[in-house]
Amino acid sequence: MYVLDMSEMPITDARAHLTELANRAEYNGESVYLTRHGKRVAALVPADWLSEIERVEDEIDNAAADSALAEGGAPIPAAQLWDQLGV
């Protein structure tokens, strides 16, 4: 289990401490928001956290796809859908 120690650091400072920050994320479960001009723009988190987020997102996407398939109806070709969406 990770200990949550969320902090912030300007990107310019993080560059000089990247190895230390990565080690703290890996071994201590610490995370840090990277900021630019005081605004959070990214985060350095333990890799396990991101893997878990991606796993949950996949589960949500799969459940949505299963739900859409269960509704029935005729399939829509991808090209037609893209035209409708303006992609």
* Third-level CATH fold of 6-71: YefM-like fold (3.40.1620)
Give CA–CA dist 70/68, Å, rounded: 5
**Is the whole model's pTM more than 0.95, yes or no?**
no
Q: Is 25 exposed, middle or buried, given 0-12, 13-18 or 19+ CB atoms closer than 10 A?
A: buried
Is the Cβ–Cβ distance between 24 and 30 less than 8 Å? yes
The pLDDT tens digits of the residues spanning 40-83 come to 999 999 999 999 999 999 999 999 999 988 998 888 899 998 99
pLDDT-derived band at 2 (thresholds 50, 70, 90) equals very low
How confident is the model at residue 4, as a pLDDT? Answer: 45
How confident is the model at residue 11, as a pLDDT? Answer: 94
C-alpha count within 13 angstroms, C-beta hemisphere, residue 48 = 9
What single DSSP character describes residue 31? E
pLDDT at 3 over 80: no
Task: Name 32's bridge partners.
Answer: 7, 44
**For the chain, what percent of residues have pLDDT higher than 90?**
80
